Structure 1
Amino acid sequence: MTSHLFAVAAATEDDLLAAIRGHADRIRGGRNLPPLDRYCHDAATGTAGLPHRATLVADSYDSLAAGLAELTAAGADRPAAQPLRRGSGPVFVFAGQGAQWDGMGLELLATEPVFRAALMRCEERVRTLAGFSVTEQLRADPATSRLGEIDVLQPTMVSLQVALVALWRSWHVEPAAVVGHSMGEISAGYAAGALTLDDALLIACRRSSLLRRITGRGALATTELSPEAAHALADASGGRICVAGENSPRSTVLAGDTGSLTALIEDLDRRDVYCRMVRGTVASHSHYVDELRDDLAAALRPLRPVASRVPVYSTVTGAPVPGTALGPAYWMRNLREPVRFAATVTRLAEDGHDVFVEISTHPVLISSLRQTLESAGRTAELLPSGRRRAERRAVLSSLGTLYACGHDVHWPALAPPAPGLTAYQDAVLDAVRLPRPAPARAGSR
C-alpha cells in the first residue's frame, strides 16, 4: 500500500482538536469518501501560516482513523509544535557509504515523478562516465548486482542523493546549510550550488574508479573510542594505523594495514571496547590513497566550482568553506584526511542550526548526530529521508515533522499523481538543471 501524508492545522489548539475530531467523524461515517491521496491533499490545502499543526502518515483509511483517534486521545497533553528557530530551513546531512540496501530507491522511483526524473538524468550521465545503468543496478537481483563494487556503489549513492534533493525541493524544503560525510560531500557540494550535476557525477565516477586500485589493501574498523583515544592509538602505531573518521564523541573509524587493525581489534575486545572491521570497502582516509593523488588531480581538472548558494560546512576543515574551494585538490583532501564529522556538527549547532535532515536511503548518521549534539548540550530535530523497506513512509513522516515545526509545505507537489510531470514539477527540474523526460513515442508502452 502507498503511504500518504495527512496534515491539519488551525489558529488555536482547541480549533485543531475540533478539526481532528471532524475528520475522524467523517471517516467513521465512511460515505462519499474520495481516494485517500485526494482526501489527504484536500485536508492539507490552505493550512499555510496556521500555527497549531498535526500530521500523520497513513496508507489506508483504517490507519488514518487509528492515527486520528490517537491524536484526539492525546488532546491537550500533546506538546505544542515548536517553530524552526532558524526559519530558513534545515541542514541537509549527506551520508557516505553504509546506507545502501537491496531494493533501495525502488519505491520512490515508482511513486515520485520528480525523484524518478532526477535519477534518470543522473543515470544518463553515469552511463556516459562509467558505463553502467544506475536503475539496472538498483533493480538487479542481489546475486548479480554490482553494488558491491566501489566504482558502481559510489556513483549510485550520489545519484540517489541528488534525486532526494530534487524531491525535497519539490516540496519547498531547501537547506539552510549542507554537510557531507566523506563521499557525501560530493552531493553536499551539488545541493549547495557549488558543483553542477556534471561536476558531482564526474567526481563520484572518476574517483571511485581510481579507488579500485587499492581494493583489498588495508582495511577500516569502526570503534567506540573517543577521537582523542583513537588518535593516541594511531600515534602509537608507528604509522600503521590512522584515524579515518571522527563521527561522534564516542565513535571513530580507524584505517590501516589489515594485520595491525586485526591485532588492535583483539586488544580492544579484551578491554571490552567495541571495535569491528568494516566489510566491503577500501582503506580511504589512509596512506593507501596517496598513490592516487596525481591521477585524481588529472581526472578532476575539468571541475569549475562556483560560489555556493548556502553555506557548505566542510568535514575536512570542520568549518564553512567557500564553494569555490571545492576544486580537484579539495577532493584529494576529502579522500585522504580524517572525516571531522563531530567537530563540524558541533560548529553547525554553535551557529544556531537545530534541524537536520539526513539525505540517504537509510539513516546511518542520526545516531552520531544525536551523540554529538547531546555531548554539546544541544537539542535538535533529527530526520531521515529514507528507511529500509519504508522509503515513502519515512520521507513523508519527516516532511510532516518539518510542517509541524512551522515549515510550510508546497502541497500541490503532493497532489494525486497525473500522467507525466505537472507544470510545477517541470519547473523544479528546470531549477536544478534537470531536463524533463522525453515524451513516450506513439505506440510505446
Structure 2
Amino acid sequence: MSNNQEQGYAKLMEMASKKIAKLEAELEAVKGRDKAEPIAIVGIGCRFPGGASTPKKFWELLENGVDAITEVPKDRWNVDDLYDPDPTTPGKICTRYGGFIDGVQEFDADFFSLTPKETISLDPQQRILLEVTWEAIENYGKNPEELKGSKAGVFIGICSNEYMQRVVSQGKEKIDAYMGTGNINSAAAGRISYTLDLVGPCFAVNTACSSSLVAIHLACASLRNKECNLALAGGVNQLVSPELSINFSKAQMLSPDGRSKTFDASANGFVRGEGCGMIVLKRLSEAVADDDNILAVIRGTAINQDGYSSGLTVPKGPSQQAVIRQALENGGVDPGNVSYIEAHGTGTSLGDPIEIGAIGTVFEKTHSQERPLIVGAVKTNIGHLEGAAGVAGLIKVVLQLQHQKIAPLLHLKKLNPYINWSELPVKVPIQIMPWQTNGTRIAGVSSFGFSGTNAHVVLEEAPLLERQKSKGKSSEDITERSFHLLTLSGKKSTALRELVLRYQKYLAERSNAEKEELDNICYTANAGRAHFNHRLAVIASNERELAAKLGEYQKGQEVAGISSGEFSGEAAPKIAFLFTGQGAQYVNMGRQLYETQPLFKKTVDQCAEKLSSYMDRPILEVLYGSETDESVLEQTAYTQPALFVIEYALCKLWQSWGIEPDAVMGHSVGEYVAATVAGIWSLDDGLKLIATRGRLMQQLPPGGVMVAVMASESQVREAIAFCSKHFSASVSASVGSKHFSVSIAAINGPQSVVISGEAEKVKYLLQTLEAGGIQTKQLQVSHAFHSPLMEPMLAEFEAVAKQITYSQGRIPIISNVTGGKADNSIATSKYWVNHVRQPVRFSQSMEALRQMDLFLEIGPKPILLGMGRRCLPEGVGVWLPSLRPGMDEWQQMLSSLGELYVRGVKVDWFGFDKDYLGRRKVSLPTYPFQRQRYWVDETRFDRPHLLEESNNESSEIEIEQIITQQEEYNNGCSETEIEEIIIQDEYDDNGCPETEIKQIITQQIEIMYQHLDLLHAE
C-alpha cells in the first residue's frame, strides 16, 4: 500500500471517527431529552368533599371559597359516642368533623361485572377508584374499552384501609374468599388493570400523605422510560372506621374545631378528609401529535426522604428545599418563572413554619415582597385527604391554570406569628385573584408523607400553540356537515335516561356560549365513550335543536331525528348492501356530499378521471354541470356510469365509517357496483365495463318499452306464451318481426314483474293482461333493457368483457341471473353477457338474503327498500336508505347511520370524522353509574339511599330504577343468587345460609321502603 493510500485511509478513518462521535453525542442528547420530556395531563377524574364529583364542580368549590367540612356522617361512626374534646381520653376522638363525600356505601357493581357477594367485601376505595378512573379516561376523550391490551400503566397512592376494620369486626367466621383481594392495597391498582385489561406497569404506592404525588412521579418516570404509553395515576382515601382517627387524636395531629387553618396563628392541626383523584398522562410530544386536549404539562418531578430528624413524623426543612430544587432542575425550570406553589399546608403549628421557610429559601433569590410567590393550600377547603392529598392539590393547580385564576386560602384571619413573613418572598391569597404573569404560568405542588417521603411536581399551563391549533379547521376548505349525529348509551335503560338528562343540563349551561361546538361535542361523545346495549342516536343541526330533541325524548315523545333501542349484544347484526338500478338517477344526486365530504369527493373525482377515457362527456359535467338537465342524465350512456359513480362513492363512505356488508346485491346496473365492492374486478375494470355497457345500449335503435306488471311470474309467462302463439295471426306482416320478442326483464316481487320488448308487441301483451284484470304501468326508459332488443350489442360487449381481469370475490354477492349466491361463473365474461339479456331475479335474490338483519340501500333514491320488503315476510329486516331526493343528504345519511348504531352495528367514529381537521375533544358529562348499597355490616333494616346523588336529577328515573332493581332481585336472587349462596355458603344451625338470605330480604325491604317514599312524595 502506498503512502498516499495510507494517508487517504487514515483521513477516512478520522472522518468516520468524528462522524461516529457526533452521532453518539446526538444519540445521548436524544436520550437526555426523552428522560426530561414533559408529560401532558390529558384527563381528570375526581370525587372530593363538598359535592365536588367532577372537575367543574371542584373548580366551583374552589372559586367560591367553599368550606366542605361537615360533622361526621352517622353512617361512618357514631360521633356522639366517640367525641371527647380531650385528645388524651382513651378510645375517643377530639373532633366531630371531617371532609366527606356522599354515597361511599354505594357502587355500580353490575357495570364492573362484580357480584353482590364480592362487592360486599370490596374496599370502597377500590370501588371509587374504578369509577373515577373510568371518568378520568372519559374526560380524556377516550373510549376506555379501546385501552384493552394496551401498555397503559396504573399508579395508585393509597395508605390506609379502614373498611378492613369493619370486615374484621364482624367476626372471623364472616371472612370469605373475597376479603383479601377486596382489601389489600395492591389490588387497588391491580383491579383497575384487570378490569380495563391494561398490561403496562401497575402498583400501589404507600408513602403516607405523599402517596398520590409519589405515584404521579413514578408514572412520569415510567412514561419517560417508555415502560408505558399512557399512565393512570392518582390516589384515594376513605374514612369509614374510627380507629385511625382515634390514633391521630392521641398523637394530637387533629384540629379540634375541624379546620385546617394553614398559615394562620390559630393553626392547631389538620382535619381528615376523603376522596379520590385520577389523572391521565401521556408524553407531551405524543399528546400534541394525537391532538389531545392538553389540560396542563408536568415539567419536572422529584422525590426524596427526610432521613433522620428529631422525630419520625417531624418534617425536615432542608429535605423539602432539596426536593423542590430537584424537581425544578429535572424539569429545566428557572425558579424565577414559578409564580404559584400549592403547599402541603396541613395547618399544624410545627409543619407550617418549616414548609413556608423551605419555600422562602428556594425562591428568595428570584422573588420578593414586590414580586411575591403565591402560596395556597387546598386542605383549607376539603381537609387532609392523606393518600389522595397530593393529587387533590395537583388537580386544583391544573384547574387554576385553565381558568387563569388563583383560589383563596380559607380560615386565614391572622398570620402565624412564628413565621417571619416580612422576610419571605411569598403572598397568601385570601380571595379569588387573577393569575397574572409576564410569561408562561408555572406552579409547584408539594406533598410530604409523615414517615418522611417528600414529593414535588412542577406544572406548566398547556402550550399556547396547542390551544390555537385546536381551533383550526380543514386545510382543504371543506364545508362542515349540515347535520351532526350524537350517540349516547348505557348498560341499563335508567343509565341512558340519566345520561340524557346530564346532556340536557350540559347544553343548557352552554346556551350562551359564544362558539357553537356541536361538531366537537358529537365527536367526543361518539369517539370518546364506550358504547353499551341501550342506545340513543340524535341528529341535529345546532346545539339548541339537539337540546330540544333530547327534552322531547325525555318526555317520552316520538321525535323525528332520534333513534333508540336495545342491542342484545349476542351477535353483531348482519348487513346487506343493496345497490340501486337504473331509474333512481336525478340531477345533482350526491352533490351536497360532494361539496362537504372529502372522501366522497375524492372517490367521485377518482372515478371521473378514470371514466374520461371511456366517455365523450365528463361525468362531473353530467352530474353537477351548470347546464345539466334531466334529459342528459336520462341517456343511458350517462345514466349507467353516473349511478355507478355515486353508488361506489356512497359505499366507500359507508365503509370508511366502519359499516361493512356481510353480503352485496345489486339490481341490474347496481350489480356492477356490487361486483366491484365484492372484489370480482378492479374499480378501473368496473368503470370500463359499465361505460361500455351504457354506450353500446345508447347506440341501439330506440323503440322499446318496459312495463311494470302487478302479477306473478307464472301469470306473466303464461300470458307471454299465449300471445306468442296468437301474435303472428293477429297482426299484419308489416309490423316488424313476427317473432314475439317480449321478455320478462325483472321479477321484483311475488306480484311484481317487469316486461320489456318492442312497443307494438308489448302493447299486444298488455291487452291480454289487462283483460284479465291485471294492473300495469309503463316505465320511463330509453330502451327495452333485458330483452331481445339488447342482442345486437352483445358481441361487442363480450369482446370488452373478455379484457377484464376477474377474481373470486371477498364478499358474498347475490346474482341477478340465478337469484342465489353467485358461484365461480360470476367471474367470467359469459356471465356478464348473459346478465345483459337475462331477467333480474330480484325477488329470489331477496329470498337469498332472508337471514340478513339490516338492508342498506346504496343509491341516490330508495327504490329497492319497498320492493325488498314485499319479497320477505312482514317484520323481517330493517330497511335503510342512503339518500332521498328532496331531503338534506346529511340528514338522511346520519338518520340511517343512527339506526345502524342503535341496532348494534359497530361504527368507526374516528373514521367518521377523520376528514374534518380541527375536531377536538371537549369535556362532556361522564357515565351515570347506577349505584346500589353494598356494606359489610348491613345487618339492620336501615333504608339505604340507593339512588341519592348530589344532583338528584329525576324522580322518574328513580322510579324506573327501583322497579328494575326489584325485578332483578325477584327474577335473579330468588333463583340464581340463592342457589349460589346455598352451594357456597356456610350453613347456620338449621342448615340455612342465614346471613346471605337476610341480605336479599333486606334488599327487598329497602326497595319497598323506597316505593313508599316515592308514593308519599307524590
* TM-score range relative to shorter protein: 0.7 to 0.9
Q: Who is 1:11 aligned against?
A: 491
User: How has the CA–CA distance of structure 1 residues 88 and 150 changed in structure 2, closer, same or farther, with 3 Å as cutoff?
Assistant: same
Q: Who is 1:404 aligned against?
A: 902
Give the Cα separation in 2 of the matches to 1:250 and 1:142: 37
Q: Who is 2:240 aligned against?
A: none
Given that residues 723 and 765 in structure 2 are in contact (C-alpha distance below 8 angstroms), is that contact kept between their aligned partners in structure 1? no
Letter in 2 for 1:261: V
Q: Who is 1:66 aligned against?
A: 548
Given that residues 89 and 173 in structure 1 are in contact (C-alpha distance below 8 angstroms), is that contact kept between their aligned partners in structure 2? no
User: How has the CA–CA distance of structure 1 residues 99 and 83 changed in structure 2, closer, same or farther, with 3 Å as cutoff?
Assistant: farther
1:43-54 residue pairs with structure 2 within 5 A? Answer: 43-54=525-536
Cα shift at 1:154: 0.4
Instruction: Give CA-to-partner distance per residue, 1:225-275, whole Å, 9 cap, x none.
Output: 122222222222213322110001121111111013234445555665331
What secondary structure is seen at the aligned counterpart in 2 of 1:344?
Answer: helix
What secondary structure is seen at the aligned counterpart in 2 of 1:128?
Answer: coil
Q: Who is 1:320 aligned against?
A: 821
Give the Cα separation in 2 of the matches to 1:8 and 1:323: 44
The TM-score, its normalising length taken from structure 1, stands at: 0.87
User: How has the CA–CA distance of structure 1 residues 75 and 177 changed in structure 2, closer, same or farther, with 3 Å as cutoff?
Assistant: same
Give the Cα separation in 2 of the matches to 1:93 and 1:86: 22
Letter in 1 for 2:869: R
What secondary structure is seen at the aligned counterpart in 2 of 1:101?
Answer: coil
Give the Cα separation in 1 of the matches to 2:836 and 2:570: 34
Cα shift at 1:301: 1.7
Q: Given the alignment of the two structures, is residue 388 of structure 1 paired with residue 892 of structure 2, yes or no?
A: no
User: How has the CA–CA distance of structure 1 residues 89 and 354 changed in structure 2, closer, same or farther, with 3 Å as cutoff?
Assistant: closer
User: How has the CA–CA distance of structure 1 residues 354 and 234 changed in structure 2, closer, same or farther, with 3 Å as cutoff?
Assistant: farther
Instruction: Give CA-to-partner distance per residue, 1:200-239, whole Å, 9 cap, x none.
Output: 1111011111112324132111122122222222222213
Q: Who is 1:138 aligned against?
A: 623
Given that residues 306 and 323 in structure 1 are in contact (C-alpha distance below 8 angstroms), is that contact kept between their aligned partners in structure 2? no
Letter in 1 for 2:757: G
Q: Who is 2:690 aligned against?
A: 204
Cα shift at 1:2: 0.5
Q: Given the alignment of the two structures, is residue 25 of structure 1 paired with residue 511 of structure 2, yes or no?
A: no
Give the Cα separation in 2 of the matches to 1:3 and 1:294: 49
Q: Who is 1:441 aligned against?
A: none
Give the Cα separation in 1 of the matches to 2:722 and 2:833: 25
Q: Who is 2:832 aligned against?
A: 331
Q: Who is 2:729 aligned against?
A: none
Q: Given the alignment of the two structures, is residue 106 of structure 1 paired with residue 607 of structure 2, yes or no?
A: no
The TM-score, its normalising length taken from structure 2, stands at: 0.39
Give the Cα separation in 2 of the matches to 1:311 and 1:319: 10
Give the Cα separation in 1 of the matches to 2:573 and 2:630: 44
Match of 1:345 among 837, 846, 857: 846
Given that residues 305 and 324 in structure 1 are in contact (C-alpha distance below 8 angstroms), is that contact kept between their aligned partners in structure 2? no
Letter in 2 for 1:93: L
Given that residues 99 and 360 in structure 1 are in contact (C-alpha distance below 8 angstroms), is that contact kept between their aligned partners in structure 2? yes
Q: Who is 1:277 aligned against?
A: 778
Cα shift at 1:158: 0.4
What secondary structure is seen at the aligned counterpart in 2 of 1:119?
Answer: helix
Gaps of 5+ in 1: 422-445
Give the Cα separation in 2 of the matches to 1:138 and 1:291: 29
Letter in 1 for 2:881: P
Letter in 2 for 1:53: R
User: How has the CA–CA distance of structure 1 residues 262 and 181 changed in structure 2, closer, same or farther, with 3 Å as cutoff?
Assistant: same
Cα shift at 1:6: 1.6
Give the Cα separation in 2 of the matches to 1:85 and 1:145: 50
1:122-137 residue pairs with structure 2 within 5 A? Answer: 122-137=607-622
Give the Cα separation in 2 of the matches to 1:100 and 1:384: 14
Cα shift at 1:372: 0.7
1:36-435 residue pairs with structure 2 within 5 A? Answer: 36-74=518-556, 80-83=565-568, 87=572, 89-140=574-625, 141-143=627-629, 146-238=632-724, 239-265=740-766, 268=769, 273-322=774-823, 325-349=826-850, 352-374=851-873, 379-390=876-887, 391-415=889-913, 418=916
Give the Cα separation in 2 of the matches to 1:216 and 1:25: 64
Cα shift at 1:150: 0.7
Deviates more, 1:82-91 or 1:24-33: 82-91
Letter in 2 for 1:231: R
Given that residues 265 and 275 in structure 1 are in contact (C-alpha distance below 8 angstroms), is that contact kept between their aligned partners in structure 2? yes
Give the Cα separation in 1 of the matches to 2:506 and 2:541: 17
State, as a whole percentage, how many aligned pairs show the same letter.
Answer: 27
Give the Cα separation in 2 of the matches to 1:332 and 1:310: 22
Deviates more, 1:81-90 or 1:188-197: 81-90
Instruction: Give CA-to-partner distance per residue, 1:347-373, whole Å, 9 cap, x none.
Output: 211xx2121111101101111111111
User: How has the CA–CA distance of structure 1 residues 323 and 131 changed in structure 2, closer, same or farther, with 3 Å as cutoff?
Assistant: farther
User: How has the CA–CA distance of structure 1 residues 15 and 156 changed in structure 2, closer, same or farther, with 3 Å as cutoff?
Assistant: same
Give the Cα separation in 2 of the matches to 1:284 and 1:85: 44
User: How has the CA–CA distance of structure 1 residues 402 and 56 changed in structure 2, closer, same or farther, with 3 Å as cutoff?
Assistant: same
Give the Cα separation in 2 of the matches to 1:75 and 1:11: 22
User: How has the CA–CA distance of structure 1 residues 323 and 287 changed in structure 2, closer, same or farther, with 3 Å as cutoff?
Assistant: same
Q: Which has the larger radius of gyration?
A: 2
Q: Who is 2:53 aligned against?
A: none
User: How has the CA–CA distance of structure 1 residues 72 and 94 changed in structure 2, closer, same or farther, with 3 Å as cutoff?
Assistant: same
What secondary structure is seen at the aligned counterpart in 2 of 1:406?
Answer: coil
Instruction: Give CA-to-partner distance per residue, 1:48-93, whole Å, 9 cap, x none.
Output: 44111011221223332232123212289x9743458862641111
Give the Cα separation in 1 of the matches to 2:778 and 2:630: 25
User: How has the CA–CA distance of structure 1 residues 379 and 85 changed in structure 2, closer, same or farther, with 3 Å as cutoff?
Assistant: farther
Letter in 2 for 1:385: S
User: How has the CA–CA distance of structure 1 residues 409 and 371 changed in structure 2, closer, same or farther, with 3 Å as cutoff?
Assistant: same
Letter in 2 for 1:314: S
Deviates more, 1:61-70 or 1:109-118: 61-70
Higher helix share: 1
Cα shift at 1:414: 2.9
Gaps of 5+ in 2: 1-480, 725-739, 920-1018
Letter in 1 for 2:837: R
Give the Cα separation in 1 of the matches to 2:628 and 2:723: 38
Root mean square deviation of aligned Cα: 2.5
Letter in 2 for 1:26: Y
What secondary structure is seen at the aligned counterpart in 2 of 1:237?
Answer: helix
Deviates more, 1:359-368 or 1:36-45: 36-45
Given that residues 308 and 324 in structure 1 are in contact (C-alpha distance below 8 angstroms), is that contact kept between their aligned partners in structure 2? no
Given that residues 154 and 183 in structure 1 are in contact (C-alpha distance below 8 angstroms), is that contact kept between their aligned partners in structure 2? yes
Give the Cα separation in 2 of the matches to 1:326 and 1:417: 35
Letter in 1 for 2:540: A
User: How has the CA–CA distance of structure 1 residues 58 and 270 changed in structure 2, closer, same or farther, with 3 Å as cutoff?
Assistant: farther
Relative CO higher for 1 or 2, CA cutoff 8 Å, sep ≥ 6?
A: 1
